A = this chain, B = another copy of it.
Amino acid sequence: MATQPVSDVVINRLPLYLRMLEFLEKAGKTITSSQELSECLDMSSAQIRKDLSYFGEFGKQGTGYNVAFLQGQLRQILHVDRAWNVILVGAGDLGRALAHYQGFAAQGFRLVAIFDNAPKKIGLTVGALTVQGMTELPRCVRDRKLQIAILAVPAVAAQAVADELVELGIRAILNYAPITLSVPPEVKVYYIDPVVGLQSMTYYL
């Protein structure tokens, strides 16, 4: 653990380092360096060394980082050295795409339930799950003490659903709805917004 509070910006970069280390391991590498990571990730090696230094000493000057060891450490730091159960709210096109996405389970995020409020969607099978009505949501979240939800509902419904999720004890929301959610400070929201991505690339065109 870090000995001092670390900014969100640093925390948000750790999964990128983890992803790159997994990639290097698959490519057969056992040792890497902040220099190599920086070239792959398009950021400075000094930034990477500084980010990692908040959490300890993971490499030796001149010998670099052990790929497997640093991966393990990052997984511990990010609390992804365990499995997490996740619910999905919204069973439209996007919700169904997310339910079929293999990347969640591969990284220890297990989708355990899908909810929607549209009668014609309730009861449908999506992957290995059956879409449940929103009335089933409270019991599911409370009984299983769930903390993570993926929100894939229309923008107009998103704040009301987020309010309900927070009330039930959800502490992390992966939000696909294109609005800024208002949540208490103890709740984290990560925004997936493709327009932000497009707009940050057109700068260069």
Contact = CB atoms under 8 A, between A and B. Distances in A.
A42 B120 CA distance: 39
Contacts of A180: 19-20, 23, 40
Contacts of A96: 93, 97
A98 interface: yes
Interface stretch (A74-82, A136-144, A158-166): A74-82
A66 to B, nearest CB: 20
Given A92-B97, A201-B188, A202-B80, A196 B109 contact: no
- How many copies, total? 2
B199 A80 contact: yes
Given A77-B203, A174-B201, A201-B172, A98 B194 contact: yes
Contacts of A188: 201, 204
Nearest to A12: B200
A125 to B, nearest CB: 14
Contacts of A172: 198, 201-202, 204-205
Interface in A77-93: 77-80, 84, 86, 92-93
Contact of A103 (B42, B103, B195): B195
A92 to B, nearest CB: 7
A167 interface: no
A178 interface: yes
Interface string A162-196: 00000000011010001110000000101011111
Nearest to A100: B93
A174 B197 contact: yes
